[in-house]
Amino acid sequence: MGIPKGFLSYIVLRILDRKPMSGSEIMEEVEEQTGWRPSPGSIYPLLARFRYRGIIEEVESEEAGLRRFILTEKGRELLGEYERRREIFRRKFHSIRRMWLKIYREMDENLYQAHLRLFEALEKIAPLLKKEGVENEAVEVQSILLKAAEEVEKLRSRLEEKEG
């Protein structure tokens, strides 16, 4: 799975805006939120760059040897910029998805709405199926989709036979 450029920076900024965390805590939090665990080789160089640029700062930790970080004002400004870009990207993606669906809009409104509902349901369940312990549910979703595709294909064949 490819992670979009800038995603790790963005999510680390979001996490550190809420509370001070160490690199290992950040890795755990990213995994909890996304199902993807960044490597120490990704997190620690990023934290070093952020610290060097004044985006984060180290804060006192009650645990010896544990370094925790939090956003600086400059970091909150950068997070704000990421949030603005994220909203623009979200709107563009939504528009692109709608355009794609409209290509297939020869279908009536009810069929279009059903198609949209299925697409959105898949979009919402996909991140949940990436977590550990849900392998059976992932197989179940795949089975549901394959059965639905098979039924639609059978119906198409019957309609084509009627025409021919």
pLDDT digits (tens, 9 = 90+) for 44-63: 999 999 999 999 999 987 77
Q: Which residues contact 43 (CB under 8 A, 6 or more apart)?
A: 8, 12, 23, 26, 27
Token digits of residue 21: 């965390």
Give CA–CA dist 46/59, Å, rounded: 17
Give CA–CA dist 56/77, Å, rounded: 11
Q: What is the pLDDT of residue 153?
A: 92
Reported as type and span, the H/E element at residue 57 is strand 56-59
Q: For domain 1-108, which CATH number applies: 1.10.10.10, 1.10.3720.10, 3.40.50.800, 3.40.50.970?
A: 1.10.10.10
pTM (two decimals): 0.54
Examine the pLDDT at 121 and tell me if it is beyond 80: yes
Q: Which residues contact 29 (CB under 8 A, 6 or more apart)?
A: 15, 21
Q: To the nearest whole number, what is the mean pLDDT of the chain?
A: 85
Q: What is the pLDDT of residue 99?
A: 60
Q: With the C-alpha atoms ordered 23, 28, 32, 34, is the resulting torsion angle positive or negative?
A: positive
Contact 50, 42 (CB under 8 A): no
Give CA–CA dist 18/130, Å, rounded: 25
Contact 26, 66 (CB under 8 A): no
What whole-number percentage of the chain has pLDDT above 90?
A: 46
Average pLDDT over residues 101-125: 74
CA nearest neighbour of 43 among 7, 94, 4, 97: 7
Band of pLDDT at residue 130, cut at 50, 70 and 90: confident
Residue 156 to residues 80, 114, 162: CA-CA distances in angstroms?
A: 49, 17, 10
Number of CB atoms found within 10 A of residue 15's CB = 18
Examine the pLDDT at 152 and tell me if it is beyond 80: yes
Instruction: Show me where the domains of the chain are located.
Output: 1-108
Q: What is the pLDDT of residue 7?
A: 82
